[in-house]
Structure 1
Amino acid sequence: MKRRDFGQYCGLGRALELVGERWALLIIRDLAIHPRRYTDLLEGLPGIPSNVLATRLKELEQSGIAERQIAPAPSRGVVYVLTPLGRELEPAIHALGRWGATQLGEPRPGEIVTAEALTTSLRAAFDPDRATGLNASWEIHAPDFVVHAVVTEGKLDAGIGPAPEKPGVVITFRPENLPSYVELVQAIKCGLVTIKGPRKLLDTFTRVFTSRGPA
């Protein structure tokens, strides 16, 4: 597949030439959460043809946005990771996600929410100004996965799986539709979640993760 060339000496145009192809930003979104094997990416992005995934990964490597590394022990094999240049795209991805959330509407047939998507939404919605000096942690349990959010001195670490240490609050919700960030916030506001831990930390969650809007 030949990349699009806009023929313009423009930063936005160059960015679109590098990451504007179909699926590219979703691949970058998932790699921003953690290193992924080729098969992990294929499984986590239902609908992407294998040849398209291979092409996108090759393009991202050629652009210096992603690279292959040997997985550390005890794992084996090759994983894809973002380079420092690729990491610089995270704020742009979060901003696009927040804007896109305003255009979501009702879920369309066949749409899913992955753990990577929810984790990215948490990172995008986090407001560091409202979290200044905060130390708190949450685990969010959806029907098919668990994600965590840990704030240490106002800095966020959000990822897939249980929190590294015992969380302050465990939030469990069983959404009627998709386990998205939007569904989570709505469930919290409507009291449709079960919590294990201090109620005040649930209030803290809505304060520091909602003021900038969801992704």
Structure 2
Amino acid sequence: MKLENITEGRNKPKRWYDDACGTALALEFVGERWALLIVRELLLGPRRFGEIRAGLPGISANVLTQRLAGLEADGIVVREKLAPPANVQVYALTAWGREAEPVVMALGQWALRSPRHDPSLPFSRVSLLLALRMMLLPERAAGWAGRIGFRLGEETYAVAVENGALDIARGSLSGVEAVFIGEPNDFLPVLFGPMPLAMALAEGRFAVEGDVARAAAFAGLFLLPPKVVG
């Protein structure tokens, strides 16, 4: 049997590219506007429709519905219903969909080196947590261990750093040493820039509960990558 006949007769979707490369096929899945960012918003766990839309302020409800339907049809996203008492519908990545995380992270790290990166633009809550993974400096994190919380509106996350690795869990803040309280863009000058934590707190950019010294040490584990030249 010839290779080109394997899928003969099947109801195949319309293709954007006449290209057998896996990269071209990946763009078929997540190349439409917003699709990859929807995947990004689901990397830390299931989210309701409204939560996804809140993380992508430029998307319309209609477009979000279309993109979720397409991602579901391609086996990347699945609809689930949370158990009582929540009893609401959420969207989650399938096991195969979660395998896209290294791609999303690598693409983000690559693009952050561009001089066109503008940190003043809206920054979603999920983006902030994923950026911690992107910009963790291994040489600084190697000798540091701790557990720090983030309260972003009604959402809470616990971030654990140990042995140079960073783990993120949504939900309980039990056992954290300090909690950053605010919204994502508030933290950027401290977490990824040169502003000392004490200065940010004095200016009222955000609040910290708990051990401020440990929060400052945590903030020192991250840095934006250098921009490309030329």
Distance between the aligned counterparts of 1:98 and 1:180, measured in 2? 18
Query: Structure 1 46/28 Cα, relative in aligned 2: closer, same or farther at 3 Å?
Result: same
- 1:25 maps to 36
- 1:170 maps to 179
Aligned-residue sequence identity (percent) comes to 32
Structure ranking higher on relative contact order (CA contacts 8 Å, 6+ apart): 1
Q: Which has the larger radius of gyration?
A: 2
Distance between the aligned counterparts of 2:29 and 2:130, measured in 1? 21
State the secondary structure of the residue aligned to 1:68: strand
- 2:21 maps to 10
- 1:199 maps to 213
Match of residue 156, structure 1, among 157, 161, 166: 166
Distance between the aligned counterparts of 2:81 and 2:226, measured in 1? 37
- 1:210 maps to 223
Cα RMSD between the aligned structures?
3.4
Q: How does 1:119-158 map to 2 (within 5 A)?
A: 119-127=129-137, 131-132=141-142, 134-140=144-150, 147-152=157-162, 154-158=164-168
Instruction: Work out the number of aligned pairs and report it.
Output: 207
C-alpha contact 2:151 2:179 (8 A) present in aligned 1: yes
Match of residue 58, structure 1, among 64, 69, 78: 69
State the secondary structure of the residue aligned to 1:95: helix
Distance between the aligned counterparts of 1:143 and 1:75, measured in 2? 19
C-alpha contact 2:190 2:196 (8 A) present in aligned 1: no
Distance between the aligned counterparts of 1:70 and 1:151, measured in 2? 31
C-alpha contact 1:171 1:193 (8 A) present in aligned 2: no
Distance between the aligned counterparts of 1:189 and 1:131, measured in 2? 18
- 1:98 maps to 109
Unaligned stretches of 5+ in structure 1?
none
Distance between the aligned counterparts of 2:88 and 2:153, measured in 1? 30
Query: Structure 1 201/38 Cα, relative in aligned 2: closer, same or farther at 3 Å?
Result: closer
State the secondary structure of the residue aligned to 1:157: strand
TM-score, with normalisation over the residues of structure 2? 0.72
- 1:14 positional shift: 0.9
Distance between the aligned counterparts of 1:53 and 1:179, measured in 2? 27
Unaligned stretches of 5+ in structure 2?
1-12, 202-207
Query: Structure 1 171/42 Cα, relative in aligned 2: closer, same or farther at 3 Å?
Result: closer
